[in-house]
């Protein structure tokens, strides 16, 4: 059973079909990109994966748990970094993380252990006591990624995680996230930027609510027609 399995998922906003019979499977330990231009359906898919939206058409399972039948067990295996920043800027890094840990039912030593581990993974331990407001954009993003790891998920979703950051900061964040995949997480990174994708990544190409391709990035890059079509949308 794949770590993330999406089968025949369709989603409509009224008459507008945002996702049309979408199916794919992704494995842990992989950096996977969800590549698609604006309007492709990436946010809609992430909203379904996190159960902000529900659909009766199709099935989604996370780490072997069916999202419709076992929502708690499935959602416990997912960490999310949203496009909009969702930090409390007046709290310190560690206070933000502790608050989130509490929401996840973690307290005391277990919470502290997971918070420290998550901060270490993003090289943010030395900033634990700083106010979120005092952090630059890259460090705020790293803190949000750390927060998404506190409950030890198997799948990490990132929605356009580097929007608004400069090139060097984007590369640093991308490297951290690749390291998380190397450590065994399934990373699923939504982006409309072809240049955020590296050679060995697993790429799901979404266009107008349909899967155009799902393959190794190198093979997708070789498929000139596909990238041309994609770039001119």
H, E, C per residue of 176-217: HHHHHHHCCCEEEEEECCHHHCCCCCEEEEEECCEEEEEEEH
Q: Closer to ligand ADP by CB, 39 or 138: give it.
A: 39
Q: Closer to ligand ADP by CB, 84 or 167: give it.
A: 84
CB of 8 to ligand ADP, least distance (A): 18
Q: Closer to ligand ADP by CB, 3 or 191: give it.
A: 191
For ligand ADP, the binding residues (CB under 6 A) are 13, 16, 18, 36, 38-44, 83
Q: Closer to ligand ADP by CB, 73 or 194: give it.
A: 194
CB of 212 to ligand ADP, least distance (A): 13
* Burial (CB count <10 Å: 0-12, 13-18, 19+), residue 189: buried
CB atoms within 10 A of CB 7: 13
Q: Closer to ligand ADP by CB, 84 or 168: give it.
A: 84
Q: DSSP alpha helices (H): ranges in 69-107? A: 71-75, 93-103
Residue pair 35/192 in contact (Cβ under 8 Å)? The answer is yes
CB of 7 to ligand ADP, least distance (A): 19
Spatial separation of the C-alpha atoms in residues 41 and 105, rounded to whole Å: 32
CB of 91 to ligand ADP, least distance (A): 26
CB of 90 to ligand ADP, least distance (A): 26
Spatial separation of the C-alpha atoms in residues 166 and 206, rounded to whole Å: 25
């Amino acid at each position: 059973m794949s770590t993330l399995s999406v089968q025949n998922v369709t989603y409509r906003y009224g008459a507008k079909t945002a996702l049309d019979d979408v199916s794919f499977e992704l494995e842990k330990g992989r950096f996977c990109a969800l590549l698609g231009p604006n309007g492709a359906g990436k946010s809609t898919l992430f909203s379904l994966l996190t159960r902000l939206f529900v659909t009766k058409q199709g099935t989604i399972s996370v780490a072997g748990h069916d999202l419709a039948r076992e929502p708690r067990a499935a959602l416990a295996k997912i960490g999310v970094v949203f496009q909009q920043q969702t930090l409390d800027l007046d709290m310190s890094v560690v206070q933000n993380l502790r608050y989130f840990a509490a929401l996840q039912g973690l307290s005391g030593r277990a919470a502290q252990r997971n918070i420290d581990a998550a901060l270490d993974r993003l090289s943010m331990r030395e900033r634990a006591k700083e106010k979120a407001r005092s952090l630059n954009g890259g460090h705020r993003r790293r803190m949000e990624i750390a927060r998404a790891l506190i409950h030890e998920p198997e799948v990490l979703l990132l929605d356009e995680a580097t929007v608004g950051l400069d090139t060097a900061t984007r590369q640093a964040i991308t490297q951290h996230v690749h390291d998380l995949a190397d450590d065994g997480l399934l990373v699923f990174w939504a982006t409309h930027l072809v240049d955020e994708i590296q050679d060995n990544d697993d790429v799901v190409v979404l266009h107008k609510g349909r899967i155009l391709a799902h393959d190794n990035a190198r093979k997708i890059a070789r498929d000139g027609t596909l990238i041309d079509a994609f770039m001119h949308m």
